[in-house]
Amino acid sequence: MALNRLKLLVLNKKYVGLLLGVAMFLAFTGGGAAADESLAASLNTALSQPSKNKSKVSAVVVDVHTGDTLYANRYANDGFIPASNMKLVTSAVALHTYGPEAKFTTTLAVAGDDLLVIGTGDPAFGDAKLAERDGRTPMSVLDDWAMALRNAGIVKIKGDLVVIDTVFDDKLVHPTWSSNNRLQWYGAPVAGVSFNSNCVDFTFVPTSAGKSATILTVPAEGGFVVQGSVKTVGKDGKHNPVLGKRPAPEKGMSVYTVRGNLKQRSGPHPKPVDDPRLFLGEVLKAHFARHGIEIAGHVRLEERVTSEMAQRSRVIATHQTALPDILGRVNTDSQNMMAEALAKLNGWAYELRQGNLRDRGTWIGGHAAAIAFLKSQGIDTVSVVSADGSGLSRDNRVSAAVLARLLETMLRDHEHSEYYLDSLAVSGVRGSFRKRLKSLTGRVFAKTGTINGVSSLSGYVFADNGRIAAFSILHNGPAGGFRQQQDRAVQAISDWLNDQPGVAIEDPDVVEAMRHVGLLAEPVAQ
């Protein structure tokens, strides 16, 4: 009887139309009980694509307080290329794995006749932005180390300067990154030791017309050579300085080329090095020489601290970077190399938990760590491929549904929610989001993402009435104008949230996170 009734229902055109309409609505909104038609209409309009446009968008909005899906379009669960929104996964895994108290150390030690530099994966050693925050420069830490050597009475090293990467494999760049990516700062190589984001910073300074411009670099020397020159021209001349990079000889110095004309100061322009380990070693050797400390031998690489080294070693100095500082550089500033270091650190920790004590941090291990973490949070990983940590690889895949659920979980349920929230860019205020959505200044914490044919934006909207939404919008395709669509969509989410009844913010993790970033005032002592 039930089957006959179903046949009659399907054959009735009136009901066929009704069913199709319901099906289309569920396909576009996700069908959640809390999905709102007015919000769906606003977002559908904001994210609408021209009929001939081959671009696609995956979009989801989740109520952080209740966990209800407020909006999910037809591609919500499909794996999209996320660009830098992949950093949301990488940074969440790192925060969960290591905790906010974690510090990553680079050590200077002597062992017999050799000077050792021992890395444990700190990607922010000599980082320009963190140094500037503290009133220093990338070279300041090297000055500190030179002073530490002299204070220890060491002014000559008879042996070699040995750089030891104790944690990562020897794959410095991801195999799926394009050759052009590898020539840009955002494609800098990753290793267990780093310096200045594994880049040389170039600044061109004009002199007199017809004369060669001055080329300033940070660092000033060590581990690289510069070929060519740039000519200073008058005010009517053409301004076209060109900075290039050539493939380095095997285990050789990084080679940069300069040419063109210069009218006004230009820079700094960062260019990646070829091997961060050799780069740091050569920079240290040259910098120590400036401080009157001679290293008689060469720079050489080792994979581990041998038992003989350990027995003979004496620590001279250490430098530590706190994990929250790295998270801020990754999510606020979209620093790719640091995200890759976190991915490999995640993989290294994951392998250790599996009992693989000899394994090193790899991108494959980083993927396994990401999948394991997401599953532990009850998030479906069918759509997830974490090829690298930064999102530069076009092999990455993740759905808006996964990112929205991750964001909801990290704010509402995670014990370190305040550090995750504080790592993000803020609308109209800071990072890669500072010039966008100024109408919602300080109310949207998000991660942007852009590579060719991909634009993404995922984060949180904080309404004035206490409501909070986690959202993810992933655009894939050839068309432009994605950022404008994303901003319209986020404005629509904010407008809708503020039109709803206000709610009390009672979840302790959410309260702590909002106080941490200044969205809630600290309680007044009675």
Question: For 319-371, how does the pLDDT look when each residue is reduced to its tens digit (9 = 90+)?
Answer: 999 999 999 999 999 999 999 999 999 999 999 999 887 789 999 999 999 99
State yes or no: pLDDT of 246 exceeds 50. yes
Tokens of 480: 């432009």
CATH number, residue 425: 3.40.710.10
State yes or no: pLDDT of 9 exceeds 50. no
Confidence label for 495 from pLDDT (cuts 50, 70 and 90): very high
**So what's the pLDDT on residue 33?**
36
**So what's the pLDDT on residue 125?**
98
Residue 307 lies in a domain: no
Q: Which residue has the higher pLDDT, 424 or 524?
A: 424
**So what's the pLDDT on residue 523?**
60
CB 280 within 8 A of CB 251: no
3-state helix, strand, coil in the chain (%, to 5): 35, 25, 40
State yes or no: pLDDT of 96 exceeds 90. yes
Phi/psi of residue 254, each to 5°?
-70, 140
**So what's the pLDDT on residue 522?**
66
Confidence label for 32 from pLDDT (cuts 50, 70 and 90): very low
CB 331 within 8 A of CB 424: yes
Per-residue pLDDT of 109-132, as tens digits, reads 999 999 999 999 999 999 999 999
**So what's the pLDDT on residue 513?**
84
Q: What is the spatial distance between Cα 346 and Cα 295, in angstroms, rounded to a whole number?
A: 35
Q: How much is the pTM?
A: 0.91
Q: What is the spatial distance between Cα 26 and Cα 28, in angstroms, rounded to a whole number?
A: 5
**So what's the pLDDT on residue 20?**
35
- Least reliable range by pLDDT among 3-17, 212-226, 285-299, 357-371: 3-17
CB 473 within 8 A of CB 454: no
Per-residue pLDDT of 432-458, as tens digits, reads 889 999 999 999 999 999 999 999 999
**So what's the pLDDT on residue 467?**
95
Residue 430 lies in a domain: yes
State yes or no: pLDDT of 18 exceeds 70. no
- Per the structure, the count of domains in the chain is 1
CB 410 within 8 A of CB 327: no
Residue 272 lies in a domain: no
Mean pLDDT of 158-175: 96
State yes or no: pLDDT of 14 exceeds 60. no
Q: What is the spatial distance between Cα 222 and Cα 295, in angstroms, rounded to a whole number?
A: 13
Give the residues across from 454 on adjacent strands.
Answer: 451, 476
Mean pLDDT of 62-77: 96
Per-residue pLDDT of 464-473, as tens digits, reads 999 999 999 9
Average pLDDT of the chain, as a whole number: 90
Confidence label for 416 from pLDDT (cuts 50, 70 and 90): very high
Confidence label for 73 from pLDDT (cuts 50, 70 and 90): very high
Q: What is the spatial distance between Cα 454 and Cα 477, in angstroms, rounded to a whole number?
A: 6
- Least reliable range by pLDDT among 21-30, 73-82, 326-335, 509-518: 21-30
Residue 210 lies in a domain: no
Residue 275's closest CA among 295, 256, 301, 257? 301
Residue 308 lies in a domain: no
Residue 441 lies in a domain: yes
Per-residue pLDDT of 171-196, as tens digits, reads 999 999 999 999 999 999 999 999 99
Residue 368 lies in a domain: yes
Domain that holds residue 401: 37-99+325-517
Residues found in the chain: 526
Confidence label for 23 from pLDDT (cuts 50, 70 and 90): very low
Mean pLDDT of 485-497: 96
Q: Which of the 8 DSSP states describes residue 431?
A: G
State yes or no: pLDDT of 12 exceeds 50. no
- Least reliable range by pLDDT among 135-144, 193-202, 227-236, 352-361: 352-361
Q: What is the DSSP string of 187-246?
A: G----SS-SGGGEEEEEEE--STTSBPEEEEESSSSSEEEEE--EE--TTS----EEEEE
**So what's the pLDDT on residue 1?**
35
Residue 28 lies in a domain: no
CB 397 within 8 A of CB 81: yes
Residue 411's closest CA among 88, 171, 126? 88
Percent residues over pLDDT 70 in the chain = 91
**So what's the pLDDT on residue 52?**
64
**So what's the pLDDT on residue 34?**
54
